[in-house]
Amino acid sequence: MPELPKDFSNLLAEVVPPAEHPAVLSSFARVKPVTIRANTLKASAAMLRAELEQAGFTPKPIPWYGDGFLLPAEDKRALTETAAFYEGRLYIQNLSSMLAPLALDPQPGETVLDLAAAPGGKAAQIAALMDNRGRLSVVEAVKPRFFRLKANLDQQGVTIARAFLMDGRLVGRKCPQMFDRILLDAPCSSEARFTRLDPDSWTHWSPRKVKEAARKQKGLIAAAWSALKPGGTLVYCTCSFSPEENELIVNGLLKRNEDARIEPWLPDIANRQAGLSAWQGKDLRPELADTLRVLPDEVMDGFYLAKIRKAP
């Protein structure tokens, strides 16, 4: 089995606690179960579970999220052939990514923005949490991904979304202080998606790619902050391990904006790690320890999440 890129392995050795390092490394060689979310705009979790069990599946509930289920990896193709999949009662979604809308906690009637929304799983989850009541703006800059986003939202029965094909870095100027809550699942180097079972999963990656992603992320988070109402909430997240894409981006926002406050958010999962408050010999803002790193395990992929509130 091929080894992970050396630069990436060195990164893991720096950001993962020594006690957790062996388990994290082994996670990159695992076949993980498929994870799904019940689309409560069309069916309750109980209804979906019963439907799948009747079709011969054995969905296992996720303890910390009542609308989520695990199934064996070998069931994935069969799931995509079910009526529940085609008719939008279930959505196949990475389990770690389900955390972001839960942290955002959107409420019915609010005005919400998903700033880098394709392919649409998190946006559909947001709409479900809002019970399809309120206003949801979704932004995507890449045309093929934009049309896939629209198709997924239609299939999931989302009626409150308005989609915009545009560079998200322009949103702050176009929509100043417009949104109650904003999700920025930032385009990143996708390090959490590496798998030793498929070396192609890291062919795009390099330290230079991390720096390029960080430049874009700085522009996006600045735009999101400008578009957020006073008193509003921003959730910033990536599927990257590199602090340059995570804590350093949030640290920069905190330094530039005195009205930015980290809001601790701790899901009931065992594989969580505090955000870094120092990197490569330099101190960062101490409150970054209240951001969240999800360590990859036998089920979940790595993830970073910061919940930030704008002072009223």
Domain 6-30+95-310, second-level architecture: 3-Layer(aba) Sandwich (3.40)
At 307, phi and psi to the nearest 5?
-105, 120
Domain ranges of the chain: 6-30+95-310, 31-92
Longest dimension (CA), the chain: 56
Could you list the residues known to form a binding site for S-adenosyl-L-methionine, using ranges. 116-122, 140, 167, 185
pLDDT (0 to 100) of residue 274: 97
Q: Is the dihedral of CA 17, 21, 25, 30 positive or negative?
A: negative
- Per the CB < 8 A criterion, the answer to whether 69 and 49 are in contact is yes
- Per the CB < 8 A criterion, the answer to whether 104 and 128 are in contact is no
Q: Is the dihedral of CA 172, 174, 176, 179 positive or negative?
A: negative
Distance CA 171, CA 225 (A): 10
Tell me whether strands 282-283 and 292-294 are parallel, antiparallel or unpaired: unpaired
Residue 233: which of 191, 257, 261 has the closest Cα? 261
Distance CA 88, CA 210 (A): 35
From start to end of 239-291, where are the E strands? 260-262, 272-274, 278-279, 282-283
| Overall pTM > 0.85 | yes
What lies within 8 Å, CB to CB, of 103 at 6+ separation is 235, 237, 265, 267, 305, 307
At 214, phi and psi to the nearest 5?
-60, -40
- Per the CB < 8 A criterion, the answer to whether 168 and 218 are in contact is no
pLDDT (0 to 100) of residue 1: 87
Could you list the residues known to form a binding site, using ranges. 116-122, 140, 167, 185
CATH number 3.30.70.1170 is the correct assignment for the domain at 31-92: yes
The yes-or-no answer to whether 6-30+95-310 and 31-92 have a common fold is: no
Distance CA 133, CA 156 (A): 15
- Collapsed DSSP state (helix, strand, coil) of residue 135: strand
Query: Which residues carry out catalysis?
Result: 239
Residue 125: which of 84, 153, 85 has the closest Cα? 153
What is the mean pLDDT of each successive set of 10 residues along the chain, which is 312 residues long? 94 96 96 98 98 98 97 98 97 97 98 97 98 98 96 97 97 97 97 96 95 98 98 98 98 98 96 97 97 97 98 97
- Per the CB < 8 A criterion, the answer to whether 182 and 228 are in contact is yes
pLDDT (0 to 100) of residue 250: 98
